[in-house]
């Protein structure tokens, strides 16, 4: 097989192994190969490893400029990743010398635009909020869902919001990360029987009406430095519970994302940084 362009990129610390397979047919990676490439300490990704593996392919849909295939650390394909969307959009715009593009994913078409040096805005579309769109196993309102952790009379975590931003999210609002222990309870919630497709778990501390501090347990990955769809979900959940305004600065462990849930068309706009760590062939 001839050499293929390979890049290491990150969006707010969310790290990706990127294969550019445009113009190729038959390029497929096995579950085991994906896991090995993402695994920390290997010769490809170095000690940090990768949170996701991305394959850029030729677009399938009319009007799209490229298709993004997303694989998590466990070797499973997922439908959406906000931070990866910014990275691939930035790469396409740089290579094509344009300031906007349409990126196709399994979750749909995403309009992306340059927003300053190494900054990209993505229209993530409207959030899905019905119980069967999350999806949940039972019929219930998704402003607050029936998930509690801790003593029955004084639960540590309770009343999370559920949002689908191309993938399912459950967002708890916390005052103290030490008490919430996201790194310990994340996996418990991910595999809670209420979520038939597992779930990404957000732990959001509202600093003000315009700022959230967020930690995310990503399904199939664990704790991450950033999660773009998780930041979008946290803002949507916060607005629905009347905790914040619709324009919110979201601080994650890897940096800062700016999220706006527009009232006029219901779309969520995410703006954040992109970093190209290395570029070559493999």
Q: In the prediction, which pLDDT does 193 show?
A: 96
pLDDT of residue 43: 85
Q: Which of 133, 201, 108, 198 is nearest to 161 (CA)?
A: 201
* Residue 1 in tokens: 């097989």
pLDDT at res. 1: 59
Structure confidence at residue 2 (pLDDT): 73
pLDDT of 181 reads 95
Q: Catalytic residue among 38, 81, 87, 112, which?
A: 81
Q: Which of 88, 115, 117 is nearest to 103 (CA)?
A: 88
* 200-208 vs 14-20, strand pairing mode: unpaired
Across-strand partners of 273?
A: 119
Write down the architecture of domain 5-124+273-281 according to CATH: Roll (3.10)
Helix (H) or strand (E) run with residue 185 in it: helix 182-190
Rounded CA-CA distance 234/202 in Å is 7
Fold (CATH) for 161-266: Diaminopimelate Epimerase; Chain A, domain 1 (3.10.310)
38 is annotated as an active-site residue: no
Chain centroid to Cα 66, Å, comes to: 19
Phi, psi at residue 281, to the nearest 5°? -125, 160
**Predicted pLDDT of residue 260:** 98
179, 141, 175: which is closest to 161 by C-alpha? 141
Residue 81 designated active-site: yes
The distance between the two most distant Cα atoms of the chain, rounded to a whole number of Å, is 62
Query: Where does CATH 3.10.310.10 sit in the chain?
Result: 5-124+273-281, 161-266
* 87, 170, 227, 232: the active-site residue: 227
Low-confidence ranges of the chain (pLDDT < 70): 1
Q: How many residues does the chain have?
A: 282
Model confidence, pTM: 0.93
């Amino acid at each position: 097989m001839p050499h293929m362009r390979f890049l290491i990129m990150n969006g707010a610390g969310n790290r990706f192994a990127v294969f550019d397979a445009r113009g190729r047919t038959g390029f497929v990676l096995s579950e085991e190969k994906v896991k090995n490439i993402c695994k920390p300490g290997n010769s490809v990704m170095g000690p940090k490893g990768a949170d996701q593996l991305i394959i850029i392919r030729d677009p399938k849909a009319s009007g799209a400029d490229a298709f993004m295939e997303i694989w998590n650390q466990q070797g499973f394909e997922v439908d959406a990743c906000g931070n990866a969307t910014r990275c691939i959009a930035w790469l396409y715009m740089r290579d094509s010398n344009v300031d906007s593009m349409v990126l196709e994913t399994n979750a749909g078409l995403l309009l992306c635009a340059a927003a300053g040096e190494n900054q990209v805005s993505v229209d993530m579309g409207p959030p899905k909020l019905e119980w069967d769109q999350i999806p949940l196993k039972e019929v219930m309102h998704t402003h607050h869902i029936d998930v509690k952790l801790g003593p029955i009379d004084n639960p540590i975590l309770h009343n999370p919001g559920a949002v689908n931003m191309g993938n399912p999210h459950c967002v708890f609002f916390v005052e103290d990360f030490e008490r919430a222990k996201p790194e310990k309870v994340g996996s418990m919630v991910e595999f809670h029987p209420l979520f038939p497709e597992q779930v990404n778990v957000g732990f959001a501390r509202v600093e003000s009406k315009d700022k959230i501090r967020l930690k995310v347990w990503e399904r199939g990955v664990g704790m991450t430095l950033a999660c773009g769809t998780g930041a979008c979900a946290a803002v949507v959940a916060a607005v629905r519970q009347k905790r914040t305004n619709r324009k919110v600065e979201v601080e994650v462990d890897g940096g800062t994302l700016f999220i706006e849930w527009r009232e006029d068309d219901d779309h969520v706009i995410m703006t954040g940084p992109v970093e190209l760590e290395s570029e070559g062939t493999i």
